[in-house]
Chains A and B, each alone.
Chain A
Amino acid sequence: QKEVEQNSGPLSVPEGAIASLNCTYSDRGSQSFFWYRQYSGKSPELIMSIYSNGDKEDGRFTAQLNKASQYVSLLIRDSQPSDSATYLCAVGGNNDMRFGAGTRLTVKP
């Protein structure tokens, strides 16, 4: 069983819609979760970190965490073509960080 699982996609949404990206993790003791955005040919860029159950909002991005269900998600409101990228979910560990395989998002004009 993979430690961090994401639907590889591709996920396609129209411009202006809400994009919902999901991630599950296997280690029930995990406490820290991160979302990265990676444009094709570029390096991952940290978007959000979340440590507590519930929602955390930053501009058009909302991260949601449910530790009981071992589930973390990222919502992108008012999606723009510039949001088209691969989104990596990561779970923090001491000394390292475990990444999911990433979900490719395409926002169509």
Chain B
Amino acid sequence: AQTVTQSQPEMSVQEAETVTLSCTYDTSESDYYLFWYKQPPSRQMILVIRQEAYKQQNATENRFSVNFQKAAKSFSLKISDSQLGDAAMYFCAYRWWTTDSWGKLQFGAGTQVVVTP
């Protein structure tokens, strides 16, 4: 069974500093996709960044970047130059395509990011 583990319930960071959120997953699939979603107090799920497992290059989106270690099944998110608007719950998610998965997303439990001035 596919599982996603986020071992940090909460992370605190000062404005302009960098924070790294960890995520590990368990899978026997070779082709899959990984995502980080942000959920602010509004509850809206916002896609932050995605990574295709077949790509060795780490994805980057402005101040957000990932460290994808396929062999270690690790997918961490780095937020650089943190801003007050980054405060939210962050979810790591894994998506795979087989005849019985139909592109379902498996989520981790989430990490609450607190940004202090």
Do A and B interact?
no
Residue numbers of A with Cβ under 8 A of B are: none
Residue numbers of B with Cβ under 8 A of A are: none
